[in-house]
A and B are shown apart, each in its own frame.
Chain A
Amino acid sequence: MSDNPILVIGGGPAGLAAAKGIADLGRKAVLVEKEEYLGGTPIKEKYAALTPDFRDAEEAMGEMIKAVTDDGNVEVITNSTVTSVEGSAGNMKVSVQNGGSGKTIDVSSVIVSTGFDHFDPGEETQVYGYYEYDDVITLTDAEKMLKEHKFVKPSSGEAPESVCFIQCVGSRDRQIGNQWCSKVCCGIASKDAMEIKQILPDAKVFVFYIDLRAYGCWEDDLYWKAQEEYKVNYIKGIVTEITKQGDKLIVKGEDTTMGRPMEIPMDVVVLSTGMEPSEGTKEMAGVFNLPLESHGYIGTIGGPLNTVETSVPGVFVAGASTGPADLEDSVSMGGNAAMKACAFAMKN
């Protein structure tokens, strides 16, 4: 049995849940975070409200962070990255780099929870003009505005009359190389659409989709609610390209249930950009020699029945570093990984 602490890499929802879980099980945890703050993507990207429960992101994540930082069993090291590892199961020596200085920590096991990056729509094979047109924005751009309780045309600062979301940007695309569904964008777009309607009740809001994937209870908590209570219009058929005409954006594509082409003017277009393995995730895979699964996320060994164990003994993963994950997935995996990492430390 090793008394060394358990290393958690990445302080987002999965890592916070893991660190708190380890502490609750009576063991020491070291939480290493690249940024100077904890909270992960919801904080970094300035999310307004969490999906699906509309809780204020800063407040909700703040509670999670406080639970970790207040716990004497957790040592938090921010502004730091893990650069190398030596030794093997039960007794690993991990190098942690903080700016110019570095130190080595002996750990009993490791949880990698380094999350995802949002797809950069500049890479899109489709022509959405994200870097050309001010009024083409991403979900995260929308979140930033909504956090300020406003939603405007970036080009003019005026309230838009029409807003549309384009789903599956950077997801489900063999040509781009991202063949996965990013799982959360349909729900988040629906949530953002509702928040826009709360601010601008008269705005016409549309969501263009290929398949609407509001899985589980997001179906009625988000999708139905947006349509029925907030009068958001869902149009089946994806947008192929965007052009500009005067101060309007023209979204072109097919309205598939009408079987007709469409060229619709919009004031603001929100690209529902999907998830990709983050840089940190790729780096940690290299540091710990973790095999990637076919999509480029960190692979696990148990298929659907063991979602956190890697093929390297003593190294576990949680959250979106293993594939597209929502908050429920991430924190559940964080807890699961904590339990398994503790068990590993006790056995080795």
Chain B
Amino acid sequence: MSEHKYQDSVQLEQVIVDGMDISGHWNKMFVPRALTQFDISGLEQLRDIPGAESINNCYQCAKCVGSCPVEYVGSYGPRKIYRKLQIGTNLIEDDYLWLCTTCKNCVRVCPKEVNMGEIIPAAREKAVLGGFIPDEIQEMLQSVSEYGNPMGESARKRAKWTKPIKDSIKNLAKAEEGESVDVLWFVGDFYAYHGRGNDAALAMVNVFNRLGVDFGILGEAEKTDGDSQRLVGESGLFEDLANHNDALFEKFPHKDLVVNDPHAYNAIKKFYPGITGNTRNVTHYTQFLSSRLDELKALMTKSFDKKVTFHDPCYLGRHNDEYNAPRELINSIPGATFIEMPRHKEQSYCCGGGGGGMWLDGLVANYTSERLSTNRVREAVETGAEVLLVCCPYEVSRFEDAVKAVNAEGKLEVMDIVEVINACIPEG
């Protein structure tokens, strides 16, 4: 990051001059601090990219910096990006481009409507085309284009998680065109492949079944929703994924398209239509279940006597304005005491996984004192809650790691809301 280049001293690890070893601090030199030019070519280049024009409008009020989740663990924020662009940084080739999690908190507060939610993917698209891609992201993109999921898992094993289900599940991957269901359930990568995601997926199946929902999954035919690929600038891949998934939505008539991943919700609701021309009746599972709250309450007879708190996912909350559905579900959990974290709803702190952050832990670690998820889990622990509830599949693994990082194992459990709901429904 250029800030370091300018502000830090330079010292060479090994130097021998005239036989004298002056390695390390013996050859420490300070780089001149004075700005000797406002090289605004980086700003000019960025604001010329369609979608990134609003970067030019920053007037340095710094509201964004106070709201930026990365700033709390490092030095970041649109205001600072803007200034770097005026002193010679080319964002397209800079690590700085990849620290943004696209959480949209700055967009919420920016008086000049500098829209990082649009600027960052537009700039990354340029970076991807130019070959400036962090290794971690490249690997993820490679996996998605090869296997349709970012983990690099076999596409054929996408429905393997269903094995423990006793009753059969309607897997439409093998069904004829036109096979209809009430609910087409877009399971998503983490539910399909991640161990803790599998737990939530199985809980979801049971909740569907107990509610008597006629549902089907796309199984091996489903591919990742593509929102994270869009946000890291791989728009071509996103287009392919949107067309692929939407063709499946078209193939199997349904009343509701239920997703568990807010990123999928965001992509299908807001970005698929621009590509496919089709609008789908997509709902996040918290919305779907809260619409069946009375039936659900009748089923939830077992008490869950714990103090719980809840993390608003950026892509359900700030990006799609849904704060109530998960809270309605949480407030219906028998026995549970719900405590909000100080930063909640519109002000929710980002877990660090969005906008490709899920695959950038290595790069981001070079610029931050701790992971965003760690910062968030500390906040959850401070509320005194015993369970941190989530409704984004990225978060279970992120926060469970963070719980270990803050030595809160045994004190704070991370659970998907659907897991708790399922736990409150007695077998029968």
Contact = CB atoms under 8 A, between A and B. Distances in A.
Do any beta carbons of A and B sit within 8 angstroms of each other in the complex? yes
Residue with the greatest number of chain A CB neighbours at <10 A, chosen from B36, B38, B44, B60: B38
Interface string B69-105: 0000000000100010011000000000000000000
Interface of A: 204, 206, 212, 223-224, 227-228, 231, 233-236, 255, 257-258, 260-265
B57 interface: yes
Residue with the greatest number of chain B CB neighbours at <10 A, chosen from A223, A224, A228, A265: A228
Interface residues of B, number: 19
A263 B34 contact: yes
B60 A228 contact: no
6 contacts: A204-B38, A206-B38, A223-B59, A228-B57, A235-B86, A260-B33
Shortest 5 CB-CB distances between A and B: which pairs? A262-B35, A261-B34, A263-B34, A228-B57, A260-B35
A207 to B, nearest CB: 11
Nearest to B36: A263
Contacts of A234: 59-60
Interface string B33-73: 11111101000100100000000110110000000000000
Contact of B60 (A204, A257, A264): A257
Contacts of A260: 6, 33-35
A227 B34 CA distance: 25
Contacts of B44: 231
Contacts of A224: 57, 59, 112
Contacts of B57: 224, 227-228
Given A263-B35, A264-B38, A258 B60 contact: no
Given A228-B56, A231-B56, A258-B83, A204 B35 contact: no
Nearest to A266: B38
Interface string B1-34: 0000010000000000000000000000000011
B38 A233 contact: yes
Contacts of B40: 204, 233
A264 B56 contact: no
A262 B44 CA distance: 21
Contacts of A236: 60
A204 B86 CA distance: 11
Contacts, number: 51
A155 B36 CA distance: 23
Given A224-B59, A227-B57, A233-B38, 15 more contacts: A204-B40, A212-B59, A234-B59, A234-B60, A235-B86, A255-B87, A257-B79, A260-B6, A260-B34, A261-B34, A262-B35, A263-B34, A263-B36, A264-B36, A264-B37
A206 B47 CA distance: 17
Contact of A257 (B6, B56, B83): B83
Contacts of B34: 260-263
A301 to B, nearest CB: 39
Interface of B: 6, 33-38, 40, 44, 47, 56-57, 59-60, 79, 83, 86-87, 112
B164 to A, nearest CB: 57
B53 to A, nearest CB: 9
Contacts of B59: 212, 223-224, 227, 234
Contacts of B86: 233, 235
B79 to A, nearest CB: 8
Nearest to B6: A260
Nearest to A219: B59
A233 to B, nearest CB: 6
A164 B91 CA distance: 25
B52 to A, nearest CB: 14
B305 to A, nearest CB: 52
A235 B59 CA distance: 9
B244 to A, nearest CB: 40
A134 B226 CA distance: 59
A245 to B, nearest CB: 11
Contacts of B87: 255, 258
A260 B34 CA distance: 6
A227 B56 contact: yes
Contacts of A223: 59
B38 A235 contact: yes
B37 A261 contact: no
A255 B56 contact: no
B87 to A, nearest CB: 7
Nearest to A252: B34
Nearest to A256: B60
Nearest to A236: B60
A227 B56 CA distance: 8
Contacts of B6: 260
A338 B143 CA distance: 79
Residue with the greatest number of chain A CB neighbours at <10 A, chosen from B34, B56, B57: B34
A224 to B, nearest CB: 8
A192 B199 CA distance: 65
A5 B347 CA distance: 66
B55 to A, nearest CB: 11
Given A227-B57, A258-B83, A265 B33 contact: no
A263 B56 CA distance: 23
Contacts of A233: 38, 40, 86
Contacts of A255: 35, 87
A235 B83 CA distance: 9
Contacts of A265: 36-37
Contacts of B60: 234, 236, 257
A234 B86 CA distance: 10
Contacts of B112: 224
A93 B83 CA distance: 63
A255 B33 CA distance: 11
A223 B61 CA distance: 14
A257 B86 CA distance: 12
A258 B35 CA distance: 9
Nearest to A237: B35
Contacts of B37: 264-265
A168 to B, nearest CB: 17
A183 to B, nearest CB: 20
A166 to B, nearest CB: 14
B30 to A, nearest CB: 13
B21 to A, nearest CB: 33
A238 to B, nearest CB: 14
B38 A261 contact: no
Residue with the greatest number of chain B CB neighbours at <10 A, chosen from A223, A257, A265: A257
A339 B34 CA distance: 57
